[in-house]
Amino acid sequence: MRTAPRPPGALLGAAAVLAFGALIQLLPYGHAHTNPPAGAAPAWDSPRTLALARRACFDCHSNSTRWPWYASIAPLSWRIEGHVDRGRRRLDFTSFEPADAHVAHAAGEAADVVEKDEMPPQDYRFAHPEARLTASERRELAAGLRRTFAAYALRRD
């Protein structure tokens, strides 16, 4: 009796990867792309600081996230939603509570990491060229964040 020929290992491997890719699309995390309603916003020190923050920070640090098409495809969706969730928890420019001591501290840290070119993350800059700030723009945004949030730190004292 003749047996059916076996597919080559590479074909089996590709089929397994495709099947796994299809299955992970069924996991619910990473598909909730609704933005919560915006709350209070800080009194920005200048329109330029706000424009730079919108360009480089708002997709993860606001309730006005722009969700790209690939944000619905796992496993990218997991990484993107995780970044946004953590970003909003850390510092949300559209749900701003000036009485919260955490806000002024987080904003100060934001200025430092922007200035050091640690934010936005490299993978975000790769996918969003508009978020690539020049050294001058990083310094300008960092200084603007410090001025904006210094006023809130003074109000708390």
Q: What is the mean pLDDT of residues 37-48?
A: 91
Q: What does the pLDDT read at residue 24?
A: 64
Residue 112 burial class via C-beta count within 10 angstroms: exposed 0-12, middle 13-18, buried 19 and up: middle
Residue 6 pLDDT > 70, yes or no? no
Where in the chain are the domains? 38-156
Instruction: Tell me the per-residue pLDDT of 127-136, one tens digit each, with 9 for 90 and over.
Output: 999 999 999 9
Taking the model in full, what pTM does it have? 0.79
Give Cβ neighbours of residue 62 (< 8 Å, ≥ 6 apart): 38, 88, 92, 93, 94, 95
Tokens of 60: 């993860």
Instruction: Tell me the per-residue pLDDT of 65-122, one tens digit each, with 9 for 90 and over.
Output: 999 988 888 888 888 999 999 999 999 999 887 667 777 778 878 999 999 999 999 9
Q: What does the pLDDT read at residue 127?
A: 92
Q: What does the pLDDT read at residue 12?
A: 79
Tell me the pLDDT band of 26, cut-offs 50, 70 and 90.
Answer: low
Q: What is the mean pLDDT of residues 13-25?
A: 74
Tell me the pLDDT band of 34, cut-offs 50, 70 and 90.
Answer: confident
